[in-house]
Amino acid sequence: METQIRPDSAEVDTNSDLIDSFLRASRLLVALSARSLDEASSPITFAQFRALLVISRGSANNQTQLAEELDVAPSSVTRMVDRLESAFLVERTRAGSGTRGLALRVTEKGQQVVQEVTDRRRALIAEVVANMPTDRVDALVEALDAFADAGDEPKLSGASVPGSSADFDSGLEV
């Protein structure tokens, strides 16, 4: 029988092997993410990269939506977008006729940075996975998908994956 841990039905043992393993793996993923950002052609922070991803996948069309999506104060988003705009990674455009707001759009340079960082991150992760026993990889994929599903993280595939070449051929939302 499979045991499921649910925050509303059972206390989670924060000292469990499961939590410790997730924390260990997350430290590795954060380190790989940091390396991929450090090697980018344009200097960019993790928060700025996350904003680029949100904008490029269409989850936020303006600064208010971006602040909500990132769960930060609107003033923080204003400063972040100012920096991204001054680096020519995003641009503010008129939202449309009859509206007073400004829309956010990732520039071609911004798309290149997203692609570059995503490609580098994929390569770094692939290096780690290549060191795993092959019979454990399928189980890892299944476990990671279950974890992401439990956290309501959408599954992205094909042209909807930020950073995939298909995204930039058709224009996207990141």
Domains of the chain: 27-151 (1.10.10.10)
In 3D space, the residue among 25, 23, 45 whose CA is nearest the CA of residue 125 turns out to be 25
Structural contact between residues 55 and 105, judged by C-beta atoms closer than 8 angstroms: yes
pLDDT, tens only, 80-131: 999 999 999 999 998 776 656 789 999 999 999 999 999 999 999 999 999 9
Structural contact between residues 94 and 103, judged by C-beta atoms closer than 8 angstroms: yes
For CA atoms 155, 140, 123, 83, the dihedral sign is: positive
Residue 12 has what pLDDT?
Answer: 61
pLDDT band at 153 (very low <50, low <70, confident <90, very high): confident
pTM, entire model: 0.74
pLDDT band at 160 (very low <50, low <70, confident <90, very high): very low
Residue 13 has what pLDDT?
Answer: 66
